[in-house]
Structure 1
Amino acid sequence: MAVQQNARLLLLSNSTMANQPYLQWPKKLIKDFLNVSQVKEILFIPFAGVSIEWDDYSDKVKHALENDFKVKPIHHCSNYEEAVQNAEAIMIGGGNTFHLLYKLYEHNLLDSIKKRVLDPVKPIPYIGWSAGSNVAGPDIGTTNDMPIIWPPSDLALNLVPYNLNPHYNEWQPPNLKAETRIDRLNECIQIKKRTIIAYAEGVGIRVENGQHQIVAPKFHDHSCFIDNKDNRIVKVWTYENDKIQIDEIPLTDSATLNHYVK
């Protein structure tokens, strides 16, 4: 499923970097992305929150974006599907991906969100981070989260034709003998045979005009990274001719995923 040419998505790996305020690193990305569509109000979906109250979660997002946008929590709406139908933009935060998807099924929101975001005439922008990015793929099979609750299916929004693996890193403690993230993604693609995009914290994917651009803002302070080094990375898993192919995408201003979108 190639994404609609006029669909607009901002799929962030994470919300917060170490030693930074909440949503600081992607704030300009969010503002620039939503201003293109002249968005004034965001419908925020906090369903991935488990150990945080949804009001508290929503307040964090409101506080981070209050100078630029009004944030409307969906759980304050009397009719969730109607709220989606009337939304200017949809934002889904991170947390537990299984819990998020369970709630999206419970409230019959998957089709409603997909129709608004992929509307061929007037699509609305979609922003997600972590779990909110995971559910933008065909299914949530590449989430890092524990399945604390079982949704009716692992099938998700299918806004992009690839799976996503946010928070990707290759750091390993000394003498680690357990499975690595690479091992697990290798297993995953052998079963799914579908492209996987694994991207580090501090990286996003901006989709518009049929283009899938990697966005990785520069950081002047590297204390937010492991070992104080900018070790951000994006890797793409593909499976062709019964072979796993892993490509690393250089984080340049012109980096895209267009080659992998089918």
Structure 2
Amino acid sequence: MDVMLFSNGKLPGNTQLLEFGLDWIEAMVKRTGAKNFVFIPYAMIRGDYQERTEQLQAGLGKFGCKVTNIESADDQVKALQEADGILVSGGNTWVLNKMLHDKGLVGPLRQAVLQQDKPYIGWSAGTNIAAPTMCTTNDMPIVSAAILTSLNFVPFQINPHYIEATMEGHMGETRDERIEEYLLMNPHQVVAGIPEGTLLHIQDGKLSYSAANGKPMKLFANKQEPQYFEAGSDIQFLMERGC
């Protein structure tokens, strides 16, 4: 399994999608030999699928890759089977997870990544769905979607776009408080909060954490003080947890 889970798609000052992660992606392409990527855009609500496909083509095209929008395929399961790798966009996790289930793509995606070792690159919502469930998404449930189980590539929950902040005058829950609530209801789980510009990478069962901006990962567990992990820290214990 070779899976890259980015917190987000852009950093301030970036002009290109996944610009801050292109060196990591280039290394993946060279390592796996993947050239033909299928792009799953279903999390996007306010953007154009084909325009996003072209943005990704501009970035990955530098490495000799071709990016195809899965919406252009007559048979989307076959498109996954024939692709060398998979790209999954950020956006609304509720919409993404619902559409993957509705279109019968969850099983084929798991087979492609877990059994056929096809590289997977997700960001934001595309990272959320790599966890056992999408329960730690930041997104509003803008569609009727009762199914919370997702791709389960990793045995822990992920909170992309994690920000450790409070806003003056804001009386709602902070991100930490929302995660604390989740853990009180799901005490067996842990949540990895990954800030902007960071990456969780699973390669051959080994988990690593990288940051383009030096920000640490924050790990939450029920009724415990959160732990911070810098880029390069040993976080393999997270992969050894039971789901």
Q: What range is the shorter-chain TM-score in?
A: over 0.9
**Structure 1 residues not aligned, in runs of 5+:** 1-6, 220-229
Query: For 1:34 and 1:236, how far apart are their aligned partners in 2?
Result: 29
Query: For 2:175 and 2:164, how far apart are their aligned partners in 1?
Result: 7
For residues 140-165 of structure 1, give each alpha carbon's deviation from its aligned partner in whole angstroms, at most 9, with x where no partner exists. Answer: 00000111112340110011101110
Aligned to 1:126: 120
Aligned to 1:101: 97
> 1:204 is aligned with what amino acid?
L
For residues 112-161 of structure 1, give each alpha carbon's deviation from its aligned partner in whole angstroms, at most 9, with x where no partner exists. Answer: 10011110xx3111110000000001110000011111234011001110
Query: For 1:215 and 1:155, how far apart are their aligned partners in 2?
Result: 26
8 Å Cα contact 1:169-1:233 kept in structure 2? no
8 Å Cα contact 1:62-1:70 kept in structure 2? yes
Structure 2 residue 26 is matched with structure 1 residue 31: yes
> 1:249 is aligned with what amino acid?
F
Return the offset for 1:249: 0.8
8 Å Cα contact 2:155-2:238 kept in structure 1? no
Structure 2 residue 241 is matched with structure 1 residue 260: no
1:236 to 198, 213, 219: 219
Aligned to 2:52: 57
Aligned to 1:225: none
Query: For 1:204 and 1:170, how far apart are their aligned partners in 2?
Result: 17
Query: For 1:163 and 1:135, how far apart are their aligned partners in 2?
Result: 9
Query: For 2:72 and 2:120, how far apart are their aligned partners in 1?
Result: 19
Return the offset for 1:77: 0.6
Query: For 2:192 and 2:39, how far apart are their aligned partners in 1?
Result: 25
**Structure 2 residues not aligned, in runs of 5+:** none
Aligned to 2:157: 163
Query: For 1:148 and 1:176, how far apart are their aligned partners in 2?
Result: 23
For residues 34-80 of structure 1, give each alpha carbon's deviation from its aligned partner in whole angstroms, at most 9, with x where no partner exists. Answer: 22111111111001111112112212212222212110111111100
Query: For 2:238 and 2:114, how far apart are their aligned partners in 1?
Result: 20
Query: For 1:190 and 1:99, how far apart are their aligned partners in 2?
Result: 26
Q: Name whichever structure is richer in helix by fraction.
A: 2
What TM-score, normalized to structure 2? Answer: 0.93
Query: For 1:130 and 1:151, how far apart are their aligned partners in 2?
Result: 18
Tell me the secondary structure at the aligned position of residue 226 of structure 2.
strand
Return the offset for 1:94: 0.3
